[in-house]
Structure 1
Amino acid sequence: MADATGLEALDTPCLLLDEARLRENVERMRARLAGLGVAFRPHLKTAKSRDVARLAMAAPEGPAIVSTLREAEYFCEAGLRDVIYGVGIAPDKLARVAAVRARGADLAVILDSLEQAEAVAAHAARTGDPLPVLIEVDADGHRSGVAPDDAETLVAIGRRLVAGAASLRGVLLHAGHSYALSDPEALADAAEAERVAAVSAAGILRAAGLPCPVVSVGSTPTARFARDLTGITEVRAGVFMFGDLFQAGVGAVEPEDIALSVLATVIGHQRKKGWIITDAGWMALSRDRGTARQAVDQGYGAVCDLAGRPYPDLIVADANQEHGIVALRRGSGAELPDLPIGARLRILPNHACATGAQHDRYHVLDDAGRVAKIWPRINGW
């Protein structure tokens, strides 16, 4: 690269990844969970990259969790073996699950209804493959799952799976409500509620004579703030690896830990309106506006200089498909920076998963801020 940072030669908009920050985030989480005595199962749904997975996983074989069967196929082709498909199974997807398993991967699925259990049991009986299953338990009313005290449903699902020659591997919970919190004590309480729900559900299965070797919990906020994980066998988390403005608003990551950004170019001005126009609209940043519900609304992203230092109160205030409108946050007393046409800037994402999904590769930055590597990433289901 001809310039000092190596970023001026890139076509924009494009996705940048600070490798040092990524590694630090992963090591910090590993150390924290090791200190709490539990295994770490990284979620690869944010990364969608084999190169990132190699840094996140304990070994090339895993463990890991994914959110799409496309991810399962992609990572298992590269040697991943211990993996959970972490979205409730639809019966018509069992053939794809079976194809991944036939290639040597121990791919497990999750479910939360007797209807799904019937389909999985029938599949296992028909194919002779004892498909491993985790029962999804509802930690906090956020989304899917069996209530942790619904013994009748938990036992009925477990017995149907075992009777149908499937393998009941355990329970899985996701404390999604934690994303609506920001107080450290409230987040610690959410982590404890998740733990109690998981242990309760596991106890119900075991009391009925059913196996429950895995008790799996996870979200970035609860992984960050959990004080005690007694009775838990593994924790799942993924977005912490990259960090984003939403997680910073929750308090699960620090703003300086955010490893992902979008490189953009200034293409115009509306000086009377206090606007700087860039070539990174919502097609590059995503439409995610999750921070609008937080104490600090970051618009479509926070704007930084080429070294990754945020400009005071400068955000992408609005976005069209291919145009980003950069302006000072409403009510700010900061001064709009002088960014002429052709100037480069970096935008921190609201939601790393959504922003990453707009791109097919990471431009990986070394310690000097130069692009040292290109890491491909995938999308799709």
Structure 2
Amino acid sequence: MQETLATLDTPAAIVSLRRMQHNIARMQARADALGVRFRPHVKTTKCADVVAAQCAAGATGITVSTLKEAEQFFAQGITDILYAVGMAPHRLGHALDLCRRGCALQILTDSVEGAQAIVDFGREHGHAFDVLIEIDTDGHRSGIRPDDDSLLAVGRALHAGGMRLAGVLTHAGSSYELDTPQALAKLAEQERSGCVRAAERLRDAGLPCAILSVGSTPTALETTSLEGVTELRAGVYVFFDLVMRNVGVCSEEDIALSVLTTVIGHQADKGWAIVDAGWMAMSRDRGTARQRRDYGYGQVCTVEGTPIRGYLLSAANQEHGIVSCEGAADADIVARFPMGTRLRILPNHACATGAQFPEYHALAEDGTLQTWGRFHGW
């Protein structure tokens, strides 16, 4: 029997096909207009069906955060893969195996020590890895500052050691902390110019630097120029979430991922409806708590996906969620959300919420559902 939103067991991860396809088309059009190739980050979905839609729209290659993702998507026929996490020496054997099976895998480092480990392993096994150097353009996480002396030391270690110095990569992760177009555009230019500066220094030192890779969802959508850049990366845009809504790059109506849940009880005197989606379904991510608009554990919507203004998943235990009205307690909560009512909850962080589920249920406009597998782990 064909499952519907009325019969599907809950909690369940629902993907709106219409919204997802709109988001994919929007980002691909952005990359095309900026004149760069687009390499989506697939860590958000870890789903072959979603990635197939991104590639069909024009994406060239993918970005992964784990070698398990690389394995899974290589098995699906994708060969152009960037592993955008600093390469730990113990993973080099796995990376080598992928390369020898035909995967055009690019790896990443941001230190002389990391570069030397790649060189030593590559020489020992007779393989020249394609390596990008991670650049820190906003102080958010890892990478080498564009003007740091260690940039050239890393480049020289890789090049002299027989590895292929493929280029530079940066990620303006601090964009998640901003919430105006002006601030995002300024950071996007900082991201671009810092990456270009690093590439220029490498080239001036006689080192190759063909790839200049930048990106975060907010900066990708607000940048006005990617002059000098060769590729753009973004990930969460495919689903969006409430953090991105607060950043200002999407609306609630763009969010393609939601969690289907059922009302299982009430605490009428407190104005609570209890649902079967707790933090094991939504994740513990409370990213909006640090933003101007706090959505608790998620925005409550009708089963059709329309936000119910004023009602949030305000608290969560492992398997229980509390739906309540912002401000005063709702004295009519039992009548408003009777036992068995089905609701959908928009998440704070799509990557974290998606990771709670082994599969997605892709919802078409006619109400039919397809089941899409999702994988976990490292």
TM bucket (normalised to shorter chain) is over 0.9
Unpaired stretches in structure 1, ≥5 consecutive residues: none
Q: Is the 1:247–1:253 Cα contact (8 Å) retained in structure 2?
A: yes
Match in the other structure for 1:230: 227
Letter in 2 for 1:106: A
Is 1:174 equivalent to 2:209 in the alignment? no
One-letter code aligned to 1:367: E
Deviation track 1:203-241 (CA, whole Å, cap 9, x = no partner) reads 000000100000000000000100111001001001000
For 1:127 and 1:331, the matched residues in 2 are separated by: 67
| 1:328 maps to amino acid | C
Aligned to 2:290: 293
Deviation at 1:2, TM superposition (A): 8.0
Match of 1:12 among 4, 10, 13: 10
Instruction: Determine helix, strand or coil for the equivalent of 1:57.
Output: helix
Match of 1:239 among 236, 239, 245: 236
The one of 191, 195, 200 equivalent to 2:192 is: 195
State the shift of 1:61 in Å: 9.5
TM-aligned CA distance change 1:218 to 1:25, over 3 Å? same
Q: 1:132 aligns with which of 130, 133, 143?
A: 130
Asked if the contact 2:220/2:232 (under 8 Å) is kept, the reply is yes
What residue in structure 2 maps to residue 55 of structure 1? 53
Residues 285-322 of structure 1, C-alpha deviations (whole Å, 9 max, x = no match): 10000000111100001000011001011111000000
Offset of 1:47 from its aligned partner?
Answer: 1.0
Using the alignment, how far apart are the partners of 2:98 and 2:326 within structure 1? Answer: 48
**Kindly tell me: are residues 268 and 164 of structure 1, through their superposed partners in 2, closer, same or farther at Cα, counting changes over 3 Å?**
same
| Aligned partner of residue 258 in structure 2, secondary structure | strand
C-alpha distance 112-331 of structure 1, shift in aligned 2 (>3 A): farther
CA distance in 1, matches of 2:329, 2:291: 17
Shift of 1:370: 2.7
1:347 counterpart (324, 345, 348): 345
Aligned letter for 2:157? Answer: R
Give, as a single letter, the amino acid of the residue that structure 2 aligns with 1:298. Answer: Y
Tell me which residue corresponds to 1:75.
Answer: 73
Which amino acid is the alignment partner of residue 202 of structure 2? L
Q: What is the root-mean-square deviation in Å for CA atoms of aligned residues?
A: 1.7
Of 301, 323, 330, the residue aligned with 1:326 is 323
Aligned to 2:24: 26
Does the CA-based 8 Å contact 2:37-2:60 persist in structure 1? no
Letter in 1 for 2:39: R
Residue identity opposite 2:15 in structure 1: L
Q: Specify the alignment match of 1:284 in structure 2.
A: 281
Quote the Cα distance in structure 2 between the aligned partners of 1:339 and 1:100: 51
Deviation at 1:196?
A: 0.6
- Please tell me whether the aligned partners of residues 60 and 79 of structure 1 are also in contact (alpha carbons under 8 angstroms): no
In 2: Cα distance, 1:58 partner to 1:145 partner? 32
The TM-score, its normalising length taken from structure 2, stands at: 0.97
Per the alignment, residue 265 of structure 1 pairs with 262
In structure 1, the residue matched to 2:139 is 141
SS at match of 1:237: coil
Distance verdict in 2 for CA 1:129–1:350, change over 3 Å:
same
- Residue identity over aligned pairs, in percent, reads 52
Q: Shift in Å at residue 369 of structure 1? A: 2.9
Q: Which residue of the partner structure matches residue 309 of structure 1?
A: 306
Determine which of 185, 202, 208 is the counterpart of 2:205: 208
Moved more, 99-108 or 172-181: 99-108
Q: Distance in 1 between matches of 2:303 and 2:237?
A: 23
- Mapped to 2, the partners of 1:72 and 1:113 lie a distance apart of 23
CA distance in 1, matches of 2:345, 2:304: 11
CA distance in 2, matches of 1:340, 1:59: 42
217-226 vs 245-254, which deviates more? 245-254
Identify the match of residue 104 of structure 1 among 85, 99, 102: 102
Shift in CA distance, 258/185, structure 1 to aligned 2, threshold 3 Å = same
> Does the 8 A contact of 1:175 with 1:191 survive in 2?
yes
Are residue 122 (structure 1) and residue 104 (structure 2) matched? no
